Homo-oligomer: A and B are copies of this chain.
Amino acid sequence: MDLTTLTQTSGEWLRGTGPESDIVVSSRIRLARNLAQFPFLGRADDGVRTEIEELLQGPISSLPMKGELTYFDVNSLEALDRQFLVERQLISREHAETHGSRGVGIGPEENVSLMINEEDHLRLQVLRSGFALDDCWEEMNLIDDALEQQVAFAFSEQLGYLTACPTNVGTGIRVSVMLHLPALALTKEIQKVFQAMQKMRLAVRGLYGEGSQAMGDFYQFSNQVTLGPSEQELIDKLKEVIDGIIKYERRVRDELVVKNRQRLHDQVARAHGILSSAQTITSEETMHLLSSVRMGINLGLVDGLEIPTINELFIQTQPAHLQKLRNEKLESAERNVARAAYIRKRMGDSSHENN
Contacts and interface: CB of A to CB of B under 8 A. Distances in A.
A15 interface: no
A348 B354 CA distance: 9
Contacts of A278: 266, 269-270, 273
Contacts of A340: 266
A337 interface: yes
A265 interface: yes
A268 to B, nearest CB: 8
Contact of A274 (B274, B337, B348, B355): B274
A12 to B, nearest CB: 32
A262 B354 contact: no
Copies of the protein in its oligomer: 2
A152 B262 CA distance: 59
Contacts of A280: 262-263, 266
A274 to B, nearest CB: 5
Interface in A57-71: none
Contacts of A276: 273, 277, 354
Interface of A: 262-263, 265-266, 269-270, 272-274, 276-281, 337, 340, 344, 348, 354-355
Q: Which 3 A-B pairs have the closest CB atoms?
A: A273-B277, A266-B279, A273-B273
24 contacts: A262-B280, A263-B280, A265-B279, A266-B278, A266-B279, A266-B280, A266-B281, A266-B340, A269-B277, A269-B278, A269-B279, A270-B274, A270-B277, A270-B278, A270-B279, A273-B273, A273-B274, A273-B277, A273-B278, A273-B354, A276-B277, A276-B354, A344-B354, A344-B355
